[in-house]
Structure formats: C-alpha cells, structure tokens
Amino acid sequence: MEHRRLGRTELQVSSIGMGCVTFGREIDEQTSFRVLDHAIECGINLLDTAEAYASGASETVLGRWIASRNTRDRVVLATKVTAPLSRTRIVESVEASLKRLQTDRIDLFQLHVWDTEIPLEETLGTLTDLVQQGKLHYIGCSNWSAWQLAKALLASGESGFSRIESVQPPYNLVQREIEPDLLPLCADQDIGVISYSPLGAGFLTGKYHREAEVPIGTRFDVIPGHQPIYFTENGWRTMEAARRLADEAGCSMIRLALAWVFDNPHVTSVLVGARKPEHVDQAIEAQNDPLAGDLRERMAGL
C-alpha cells in the first residue's frame, strides 16, 4: 500500500482510505471491527468518519475499535462537523467527537459542508484556536467548490488563520465536476485531495438498470436520496457505456470504475466504504491493476 503526503501537511496517508460511513448504519460493530482489522493489515491507515454518520454511531464504533486494538498512533484519524459552523457549534462538535473516538486529538478535522449563514472568519478563527490548543492537527473541507476553497485560502492568508489543507469531494465516472476547477486549484496550492464515492454509492457496480425496479436492500433502496444524483440521463448513459467497456475488457464494472479513479494523479487518497473485508480487497486489486492506456482514454471520454 502506497502512502502519500497529504498536501503540505506532515500526514502520510494511504492511497486507499477507509470510509467509515457504513459503521453503525449498514453493518454492526462486530463486522465493522473485522473490516477495520483487515484494512489495517493491508496497510490502510486513513480512517474517515463524521459526526453525521449514523448520528455519531460511526465515530463510536471507530473509537471502540481504536481503544481495543491500541492503534491510535498507527492511524490518521479524520472526522467532520456539519452546519451550522458557529464557534459554539464547532467547539461542542469537537469535544463530542473526541469523546466518541476515545482520543485527545483529531488528525484531520473537516468542515462537512459550506455554511452560507455563519461568517467564514468565525469558522476559521474557531478552528485555528482548536489547532493551537492541540485538539486538532490540521483542518480540511468536504463538498466545497473551487471558489469556496479559494475564498478560505485567501482569508487564511490575510488573517493568519489555520489553512485548509485538504478537500473531500465525490469523484467517479458520473460525478466529475471537480476536474475543471477544483483539482487544478488543489494542485496549484498543494491541497490534498481525499475523494469519496468511487462507485457512485454503488451505482457503478452494475446492479442497477434504467427500466428495472431498484433491488430491495441495496444502497439506493435504503437511501433513496442517492437516486436524483445518479438516476439521470447522464448517469444512465455513463453507466451503460462503462458496462460495455467492462465487457470488452473482460473485467467487472467495479474494477473498471475503481481503477479509473485510482488512476488520477491529482487524487491523494480514495475513500472506499465496505460492508465486509472482501470489499477492501476489491479496491486493492483494482489499484494494483491499472488501466491500459487506450481503455483509460476511452473512459475519460464518457
């Protein structure tokens, strides 16, 4: 497993990160522990969670695993706070996350969304204080656009706030909005990129069909909010084209979709969610078997 520097920080993160969104929501604690044990054995050290995942249950499961395995110093622990991003709210969130995670510091604390109501200066000032207190090592953001990141970088440069050091956007064959602006900005400013949803919440696994009912028990059945994002003309067209390319290449759509994201040199780490250890293996196999040049070019044109 390759480990890479996250932007200009001192954090060395695995090229595949463990997205902990399934813990306490789709899989129980015992299964979550098995997934985490396997991930660590495979060299994954980036563990990403959020207060919003299963109303804090993901952080609780992760904290119990860290305590039971004594792995705190072996992992890069990342979590997130959602809006409102006021001073009181952020401080309370950090304290609650530290308690659930059973730790005294968070390596990467991310703003889960952009807040249109709270002044950015209040948010960044609060995070800066928490960094200075040693409760946070670095700060990042998730689901921000290029202009929002640029605004935060400018504010930090002008006012001396702690700098946003990473972004966490969705990125897959269907969701490619970050390519024109956000990725070039991150490359220019040395911002780490931790992408998520390489399989489009399971849309790119091949289990869904345009005219068919959503299979019961799948992610799009359990969380129908994903449907408006992917059940679009562009989504279906891209998925059907990927299915044809996978058939031509003699591989699964999963392997094809994962390998395509891993192939992007501007992405520092790709978060994968897992409901069983074998899902971790799927990601590693895809990373270790890069796409042929002609196939990569055809996929880029989807």
The answer for residues whose C-beta is within 8 angstroms of residue 10's C-beta and 6 or more apart is none
Helix 120-132 and helix 146-159, axial crossing angle in degrees, nearest 10:
60
- What's the token pair of residue 53? 């995942």
Nearest Cα residue to 29 out of 75, 63, 61, 66: 61
Pairing of the two strands 16-19 and 46-48? parallel
Q: Which of 53, 171, 196, 230 is catalytic?
A: 53
Alpha carbon 85 to chain centroid, angstroms: 20
Please give the Cα distance from 274 to 152 (Å, whole number): 32
Please give the Cα distance from 110 to 244 (Å, whole number): 38
- What's the token pair of residue 38? 């396997």
Q: Verify whether residue 196 is a known catalytic residue.
A: no
At 100 the three-state DSSP class reads helix
β-pair partners for 170 = 196
Kindly list the catalytic residues: 53
